[in-house]
Amino acid sequence: CLVLVADLFVKEKSRVITLLLSLLALVVSAVLTLQSFDLEQKTLVFSGTFVRDPMGDVLKLFIYVVVFMVFVYSQKYLKDRNLFKGEYYILGLFGTLGMMIMVSAHNLLTVYLGLELLSLSMYAMVAMHRDSLKASEAGMKYFLLGAMASGMLLYGMSLIYGLTGSLDLTEIHTRIFDNQDTLVQIFALSFIIVGIAFKLGAVPFHMWVPDVYHGAPTAMTMYIGSAPKIAAFAMLMRLLVDGLQGLHGSWQDMLAVL
C-alpha cells in the first residue's frame, strides 16, 4: 500500500523511487521471514487457515530473491520501451502477496484466494503494454484460459468439500479415508490436478505458454515464468500431501503422466 500511495506522488523522472520502495519491501519481508525461521516448529494461525513451517519459510525466501532479481534486471528493459511505470512493481508486489498466501495456505479457501490474487496480477501485467496488439491478445488468451483452469480447480475443491464437509486440509486429510465414494474422489482429484498443471504450464496443459510468453513484454514474461512456479509447487504440496495424502495412489499416477 505504501508503494501504491507513493507512486501517486512520484514524477515520471523519479520513478526509480517506486522501484527502490518495492525492493525495500521485499528485503524487509525476507528479513522478517528469516527472524521467525524455525526448523522444528509448525504454527497454525488465523483459525488454522494459514500455516508457518520450515518448507513455507524456505519457499518464501526463494520467492523474495527471485522477484527481487526480476525487478532489478527488468529496469533497463522497461525504461527503453517507455514501460517503466509504478503499475509493474505494484502488480508484482500484489502477485508476490498472492504467492505468500499460496505457500502458507492451510485451507482450500485461502489456497484459492492466493491463487486468484496472483492470477489477476499476472493477467494485468501481461496486457500492461496497451499499445501492443500482441500483448493485448496474450492477456486476453491468458485471462480466458486461466479463468477456465481456475474454475476447474474450484470445482475439484468443491467436490472435496462435499465429500469431507471441511475446507481445512488437516480435517480433509483425516476424513478422506472415511469416504468410500471412489469415483467422486477421482473426479475431484482430476479437476484439481488439471488446474494446478495449467498454472505450472505442464504438458498437455501448456497451450497458453507460447502465446503468452511471446506476446507479453520480456519483463513480464520473466516474472510469470519464475516465482509463480515456486508458489504453484507449494500449492501442489499443500493440497496433495497435506490434504489428499490418502489418495496418493491416484495422484502419483497422474503426476507421473504429466
| pLDDT, tens digit (0-9, with 9 covering 90-100), for 6-51 | 766 667 666 788 888 889 999 999 999 988 887 777 888 888 889 8
Mean pLDDT of the chain: 84
Sign of the alpha-carbon torsion through 185, 190, 193, 199: negative
- Phi, psi dihedral angles at 105 (to 5 degrees): -65, 135
Annotated domain spans of the chain:
2-257
> What is the pLDDT averaged over residues 44-69?
90
> What pLDDT is recorded for position 32?
92
pLDDT value at 80 more than 90 = no
128 has pLDDT over 90:
no
Contact call for residues 138 and 212 (beta carbons, < 8 A): yes
Asked whether the predicted pLDDT for residue 85 surpasses 70, the reply is yes
pLDDT level of residue 1 (50, 70, 90 thresholds): low
Instruction: Report pLDDT for 114.
Output: 92
pLDDT band at 101 (very low <50, low <70, confident <90, very high): very high
Q: Is the pLDDT of residue 64 over 90?
A: yes
> How many other CB atoms sit within 10 Å of the CB of residue 126?
28
User: What pTM does this model have?
Assistant: 0.88
pLDDT surpassing 90 at residue 69: yes
Q: What is the pLDDT of residue 9?
A: 67
Residue 175, pLDDT > 90, answer: no
Q: What pLDDT sits at residue 186?
A: 84
Q: According to the model, what pLDDT value does residue 222 have?
A: 87
| pLDDT-wise least confident of 40-49, 57-66, 228-237 | 40-49
Q: Of 38-42, 81-85, 179-183, where does mean pLDDT reach its minimum?
A: 179-183
What is the arithmetic mean of pLDDT over 60-65?
A: 94
User: Of residues 83 and 249, which shows the higher confidence score?
Assistant: 83
